[in-house]
Amino acid sequence: MDERRRQLRRAVGAAGLASAAIVAQLVGAKAARDALFLSHHPVARLPEMMAAAAGVSLVAALAAARAMAAWAPARVLPVALVANAALFGAQWLLVSRAPASAGIALYLQVAFLGATLTAGTWALINECFDPHTAKRVVGRIAMGGTAGGAVGGLMGYALGRSSGIPVMLLMLAALSLAAIVPVGMLGSRAKSQPPADRVRTRSGFDVIHAHPYLSKLGTMVVLVALTSALLDFVMSARVVARVPKGPELMAFFALFHMGVGLSSFAVQALATRATLGRLGLAGTMALLPLGVMGASGLMMLVPSLVTALLMRGTDALVQSSLYRAAYEVAYTPVPRGQKRPAKMLIDVGFDRIGTALGSGLVLQILPRVADAERVLLAVAVAAALACLITILQLHRGYVTALADSLRRGAVRLDAKDVLDATTRRTLAETAALDRKKLLASIERLRPSMAGQSDPPPPEVGGDTLGDLPPDGREEGFGSAPLSMRFALPDPPDGVERALADLASGDASRARDQLLAEQPIDPELVPAVIELLGNDDLSRDALRCLRRWGKVALPDLCAALANPGLDVVIRRRIPRALEAVDDPRATTGLLDALVDEQLEVRRQAAFALQQKPAAPPRERVLSAVELELRRGSAALNAAESSADPAAGASVEQAIVLMSLVLEREPLSLAYRALRSGDDSLRGTALEYFENVLPEALRSQALPLLERLKPRDQPRRDTATLRAKLLETRS
């Protein structure tokens, strides 16, 4: 465990350094780009340049998506970083000879490689962590990027006051080369993860089209980029009108980006993890459009350079901190084979599509509207509102993606991990080991095995019933006579012979009564219930009770609720009640969910799973809370995360949750949680965090995190036989 923690710390540190270096050169490049372009070109050309840059970025995104899918981010990023450094060197040579051309070239370079490098770095980081771990560490990683942004802004401000743009270009080339080292460290960790899933689709567009969740993410990115493009133009127009061109302009933009970076660092340090935990992914991302709508509304009411900076600063601040942290975690459940082409295309291509749309709107509105600024702000507010609606639809898609991730990577199906009644009983029915025959061959073991639990028998409905292992009790409910247990009245003459047959101990006579075609007499029900404890007759008794459940219902509910009865009989009663279509049967099973005996609670939950109508949510969640308290108490008492009682209580809690939540993903998540795969365990914890009701989340998650994986392999028949024989002494 200590070694895993050390590896995690090293990976987080490398990710933070890589993010810092990439963001530092990107912020510095943007400051130099804006200053160089706006110093040698009128601001009216800015929308045209933004549109051209968007087209170039889209081409870069398509190329990068194919490259990432073919060779993985760990191999593509170092090559791209070297190319970026070389291009900065070329810009350094060009700026002194043709500054206007250098401004256009730098704008296109930042468009082609800037966003691609950022997206590629986060794609590599995304492959190194499971969803639950990513949610915990992404804030720290993003803080590295924010610190890098502040450094890049500070560099631009200092150089803008002294040496100017040429020296800045050389510094940017050095930062690009420096980023290769932490990127290589991350690449080593990514290679140690499970291999990427193969997908048949060849392009990111095909992957996105086939997955509604990715489509919504793409739509959100387009709307965010469109909004940012509009706000960026409004701010740039006011800045150019007030700030002198040249180094002063670069210093101003650098100072602005540095301020955004420092503010983002503070937000990430203080609020990212808490916000993700409290609001979730969708709620955290929703803060971006909400902030944009509020700041844009303020700008419309009080138009000035200060409010323009506040508006654009709010957009950039939330994007680089809270939104970025949640956005990157949103990709963690997506298979790598699909994520590599799709994420790069969305991060860069869709982002540039949104930028191009925003630039096109600016070009269309400027010459046609007198008060263009107000109209652009109104369009930005509308786009932010559409973005908010899209984000609110993402939560269900994220949970579905987590469930799909569990399905793809779930551990092998094993009876001890199956949490639904049908599957578990089917496993018991089809298992290669006939436990009843094995135990029958070593009769002397029966007393020592009496207290052991057994998997529930298979579904009743045909000619066979699942294994009901012997328990050494042939006398009924413990040692007390039948009349003491049920206080039977004197039976009428027509019932006396049947009652004598059932209590005779002769299996043939009792079976004749159990299989009789005529309806069972209510006076015989207690005797039939007692036969649930007889291994030779339990199947026939259960079949009889299920067939005439309406008649037997009162006695079945009373016996199930009686803590003085034999637990072997009580745990088999729910199998009869599950077949009774009567609200009283459901009520009896619900009451049994809080029984002191775990096996009684477990079988009652399995029986409720077979009911067509969902049980009352409040009662089920109350029982879940009780199980979680039992599990926590067992762990605290044992001071060990491997305590069997705690594990049993947690499993029962998951079974109960499946009565009110989607069953299959819950079962898969529990099995993944008990596996030895860290990535699967993280995905499972993230799934639980997103689907558990808020009232249970704080109590359940710490308990789930403390459970250790099952490390014992499934034993075959020969191993089980040897183990049983060892217990003879």
Does 361 fall in a domain? yes
Does 33 fall in a domain? yes
- How does the average pLDDT of the chain come out, rounded? 78
Note whether 106 and 196 are same-domain residues.
yes
- Quick: pLDDT tens for 543-562: 999 988 888 999 999 999 99
Note whether 318 and 362 are same-domain residues.
yes
Does 278 fall in a domain? yes
Reply yes or no on whether the pLDDT at 463 is more than 80.
no
Total structural domains within the chain: 3
Does 467 fall in a domain? no
**Spatial contact of 228 and 311, defined as CB atoms under 8 Å apart:** no
Residue 217: its pLDDT value, please?
93
pLDDT above 90 covers a percentage of the chain that reads 20
Q: Which CATH number characterizes residue 197's domain? A: 1.20.1250.20
> What torsion do the CA atoms of 512, 518, 523, 527 make, to the nearest 10 degrees?
30
Q: How confident is the model at residue 381 (pLDDT cuts 50, 70, 90)?
A: very high
Does 466 fall in a domain? no
Note whether 116 and 264 are same-domain residues.
yes
Q: How far apart are CA 17 and CA 90, in angstroms?
A: 26
Note whether 34 and 159 are same-domain residues.
yes
Q: How far apart are CA 577 and CA 63, in angstroms?
A: 62
Note whether 336 and 353 are same-domain residues.
yes
Which of 557, 580, 610 is the last residue before a domain boundary?
610
- Quick: pLDDT tens for 23-34: 888 888 887 887
- Quick: pLDDT tens for 610-627: 888 889 989 999 999 998
Residue 723: its pLDDT value, please?
53
**Spatial contact of 465 and 542, defined as CB atoms under 8 Å apart:** yes
Does 695 fall in a domain? yes
Alpha-carbon Rg for the chain in angstroms: 34
Reply yes or no on whether the pLDDT at 278 is more than 60.
yes
Residue 449: its pLDDT value, please?
34
Query: Which tokens belong to 236?
Result: 């740039």
Domain span at residue 198 reads 2-409
Q: How confident is the model at residue 296 (pLDDT cuts 50, 70, 90)?
A: very high
Q: How far apart are CA 593 and CA 582, in angstroms?
A: 18
Does this model's pTM top 0.95? My answer is no
Query: Which tokens belong to 599?
Result: 């096996």
Note whether 149 and 211 are same-domain residues.
yes
Which of 558, 577, 610 is the last residue before a domain boundary?
610
- Quick: pLDDT tens for 160-178: 554 577 888 888 899 899 9
Residue 453: its pLDDT value, please?
39
Note whether 47 and 177 are same-domain residues.
yes
Does 468 fall in a domain? no
Q: Name the residue with higher pLDDT: 562 or 64.
A: 562
- Quick: pLDDT tens for 200-255: 445 678 888 888 899 999 999 999 999 999 999 999 888 888 877 766 776 787 77
Query: Tokens 């003879």 correspond to what residue?
Result: 728
Does 47 fall in a domain? yes
Cβ partners under 8 Å of residue 107, min gap 6: 33, 37, 49, 52, 53
Note whether 231 and 342 are same-domain residues.
yes
- Written in H, E and C, the secondary structure of 515-536 is CCCCCCCHHHHHHHHHHHHCCC
Note whether 114 and 188 are same-domain residues.
yes
Q: How far apart are CA 268 and CA 150, in angstroms?
A: 14
Q: How confident is the model at residue 483 (pLDDT cuts 50, 70, 90)?
A: very low
Note whether 705 and 581 are same-domain residues.
no
Note whether 109 and 194 are same-domain residues.
yes
Sign of CA dihedral 678, 679, 681, 685: positive
Lowest mean pLDDT among 134-138, 311-315, 452-456: 452-456
Residue 380: its pLDDT value, please?
94
Q: Name the residue with higher pLDDT: 474 or 632.
A: 632
Reply yes or no on whether the pLDDT at 52 is more than 90.
no
Q: What is the mean pLDDT of residues 421-434?
A: 41
Query: Tokens 């499993």 correspond to what residue?
Result: 651
Q: What is the mean pLDDT of residues 676-705?
A: 81
Q: What is the mean pLDDT of residues 675-697?
A: 80
Note whether 382 and 427 are same-domain residues.
no
Within 10 A of 400 (CB to CB), how many other CB atoms are there? 16
